[in-house]
Amino acid sequence: MKLSTQQDIEAPIEKVFAAVSDFDKFEKTLMQRGAKIERADALDAPAPGMAWDINFGFRGRQREAKATIEELSGPDTVKAVAVSSGVHGYLDVELKAISEDRTRMKVGLDMRPKTLPARVLIQSLKLAQGKIKTRFKNRVANFAKDIEAR
């Protein structure tokens, strides 16, 4: 299942990249939503190889995931991979400077099932694909508004 959207942000590309690579803030957001998250690396600064072990509730069950930053090349690319009980998720964020104070952010999420139960899960998500796409686009738009407000 693939989700993608793009958003134009009234901010310079460096500011947008700083927000996209603020992993401490993402950790806090996940914890506020009830997830338990632990760093699984010893890196001091954002870099490829950063990893987290995440425990969260989804559809009435506790799930575990391992997220890793695959590519972090500023100021235009962030790629991450998350693996959770048979589902591999690939996040791709691309930034492009449209002008000095305007940036286009493209966000793509590709979830691929690796087991039969994961295929059933992804298939059930596809049934609600319209609603999920709308929520995805709204979350990215809200993130863009937060960046502009900073």
- The radius of gyration of the chain's CA atoms, rounded to the nearest angstrom, is 16
> For residue 143, what pLDDT band results from cuts at 50, 70 and 90?
very high
Query: Domain 2-149, what architecture?
Result: 2-Layer Sandwich (3.30)
Residue 94 to residue 92: CA distance in whole angstroms: 7
Q: CB neighbours (10 Å) of residue 111?
A: 19
pLDDT per position as a tens digit, 113-130: 999 989 998 998 899 999
pLDDT per position as a tens digit, 13-62: 999 999 999 999 999 999 999 999 999 999 988 999 999 999 998 878 88
**Which are the contacts of 103, defined by CB distance < 8 A and separation ≥ 6?**
8, 9, 11, 12, 13, 15, 16, 95, 96, 97
